[in-house]
Amino acid sequence: MKENWTDIMKGEWMIEFHAPWCPACKDLQKAWNAFADWSDDLGIKVGEVDVTVNPGLSGRFLVTALPTIYHVKDGVFRQYSGARDKNDFISFVEDKKYRVIDPVPDYKHPNSKQMAVVAVFFKLSMAVRDLHNHLVEDKGIPSWASYGLFAGVTLALGCVLGFFIVIIIDQVFPTGPRKNQQSKKAEKKDTKKDSGTESPTKKNGNNNNAKETKKTK
């Protein structure tokens, strides 16, 4: 479902997010499978997402608790919060009870740009966790050393990023001696312009003085 998740934008769906280590998800699985058997009769599609395999999707849907269930109809997303039994699921769809639930707002819509960014962060966090498990379980590195390594890398990246941000800000909004130099240069340019352009009054005065000198001669 990772590659073709946008298929749920069409038609009516019920989607469950779960994880293998989640006890509540395991308790729900029997009722969910029984509900899925009714999908053809109800005219809907029933799907499920393993968040350990598809962390990006859990990010798009901002899944913070498991299991999480969404109802989707023609691109409108609503989070299901009712009882978790086969008959309750059937009644929810058949009686259109989803109409009383507020849809997910636009800024949280799974297909929005901002949620695509959140999906990237979810993927990154999962990658970091997998790397930590690999270092501890496969390489035998102590947990404290793994955490220390990640902390050091995070600080280093933060320093580098902060350095570049300071450079950019200094280029766009200069301060201190550099700003004074730019101000002086601008003043010099203005002074040159003023000295190179005489006012009409001054020119007339010079012309009158020249005429009076000629008359005197």
Scanning the structure block, which residue is given the tokens 């005219």?
43
For residue 94, count other CB atoms closer than 10 A to its CB. Answer: 14
Measured CA to CA, the distance from residue 209 to residue 194 in angstroms comes to 23
Backbone region of residue 45 per phi and psi (left: phi > 0; alpha: psi in -120 to 50; beta: other values): beta
What are phi and psi for residue 111, nearest 5 degrees?
A: -95, 10
Task: Indicate which residue of 1, 22, 53, 90 is catalytic.
Answer: 22
Strands 12-18, 45-50: pairing is: parallel
159 classed as catalytic: no
Beta strand segments in the chain, E: 12-18, 45-50, 68-73, 76-80
Which of 8, 14, 25, 93 is labelled catalytic? Answer: 25
| SS3 (DSSP) at 16 | strand
Is residue 25 flagged as an active site residue? Answer: yes
Q: Strand order in 76-80's β-sheet?
A: 45-50, 12-18, 68-73, 76-80
* Catalytic annotation, residues: 22, 25
